Amino acid sequence: MTRREHRGRRGVVHGLPARATPVTGGSELPARILVIEDDPGIAALVAYQLTRAGYRVETAGGGDGGLESLHREIPDLVVLDRMLPGLSGDQVLTAIREDPATRCIPVLVLTAKREQADRIEGLEMGADDYLTKPFSPRELVLRVEAILRRIRGFAGLAGHHGG
């Protein structure tokens, strides 16, 4: 483990590189991303790429741990595998969308389920984006950036038009 990360009870929390600090809304903190992925190699790759891009990243190795992490500190975005031990990714996504405290969190599904019917099902269940494995790490980062950019835009619009 490097000095920029530490192991928590339920996963690894990755720190920031010095070069980038993407933020959401008016916050000065970098966006926090929760990666729920049971394959340690993929979880490490995703966490590394997102940390390198300037995000705060926490990983969870299963659906149960992912929901626990989600409710401990609400993330700005979730990267979610559909095929997880315990609670499946589909069950986690349903729980996220049914809970008023988490229903607006964007979810990017990252999964080996690549058929058109799988992609449609994932989006119909409430995923904001769907990326299949194998995947380009750069594409993953760009999709995360695009989702967070849209959220910042919506937050800005709400601030200008809301009362």
Distance of CA 85 to the CA centre of its chain: 18
Alpha-carbon span 7 to 112, nearest angstrom: 27
Say whether pLDDT at 8 is over 80. Answer: no
Alpha-carbon span 41 to 27, nearest angstrom: 31
Give the H/E segment covering residue 49. Answer: helix 40-52
Residue span of the structural domain in which 36 resides: 5-151
- The string of pLDDT tens digits covering residues 10-55 is 444 444 433 344 554 455 689 999 999 999 999 999 999 999 999 9
CATH number for the domain spanning 22: value is: 3.40.50.2300
Is the CB of residue 149 less than 8 Å from the CB of residue 23?
Answer: no
* Phi, psi at 93, each rounded to 5°: -60, -45
3-state secondary structure of 24: coil
**pLDDT for res 28:** 61
Identify whether 145 is part of a domain.
Answer: yes
Is the CB of residue 131 less than 8 Å from the CB of residue 143?
Answer: yes
Alpha-carbon span 7 to 12, nearest angstrom: 5
**pLDDT for res 159:** 52
Identify whether 159 is part of a domain.
Answer: no
3-state secondary structure of 139: helix
Q: Given the structure tokens 């989006």, which residue do they identify? A: 123
Say whether pLDDT at 9 is over 70. Answer: no
**pLDDT for res 90:** 97
Identify whether 72 is part of a domain.
Answer: yes
Mean predicted lDDT score pLDDT of the chain: 85
- The string of pLDDT tens digits covering residues 139-148 is 999 999 999 9
Identify whether 158 is part of a domain.
Answer: no
Number of structural domains in the chain: 1
Closest alpha carbon to 54 in 135, 159, 130, 148: 148
Identify whether 163 is part of a domain.
Answer: no
Q: What percent of the chain has pLDDT over 90?
A: 74
**Burial code of 144-157, b = ≥16 C-beta within 10 A, e = fewer?**
bbebbeebbeeeee
3-state secondary structure of 11: coil
Identify whether 127 is part of a domain.
Answer: yes
